[in-house]
Amino acid sequence: MNDILTLLIDNYPRIDGSFLYTEYDINPEEEISISINNSNIFGKDDIVGIHENRIEFPEDVIFTKKDSIVVIYNRL
């Protein structure tokens, strides 16, 4: 018998407006690359800030649940 009542599988990166959340803490000193829908490429210069596993973009960059997002970074 299994004692698990709820199993939550979290997909990453998670989206919240102009924020992306990754599975691991990001090293803000290293280069980062983010691809949106295989066409828009963002780099470290496009990012407002990185705190642990949260990447903040300018307010005019909004992600939707339909976007296909790939984040490549060095984790801490």
> What is the percentage of the chain residues whose pLDDT exceeds 90?
29
Contacting residues for 56 by C-beta, under 8 A, at least 6 apart: 18, 19, 47, 48, 49, 50
pLDDT digits (tens, 9 = 90+) for 34-65: 998 988 899 999 999 999 899 999 998 888 88
Domain ranges of the chain: 15-72
Which of 70 and 76 is assigned the larger pLDDT?
70
Give the per-residue pLDDT at 2.
63
Q: How confident is the model at residue 1 (pLDDT cuts 50, 70, 90)?
A: low
Q: How confident is the model at residue 9 (pLDDT cuts 50, 70, 90)?
A: low
Tokens for 2, please give them.
């299994």
- Calculated CA dihedral for residues 14, 18, 24, 29, nearest 10 degrees: 160
CA atoms of 55 and 49, how far apart (whole Å): 6
Q: Which pTM does this prediction carry?
A: 0.76
CA atoms of 36 and 34, how far apart (whole Å): 7
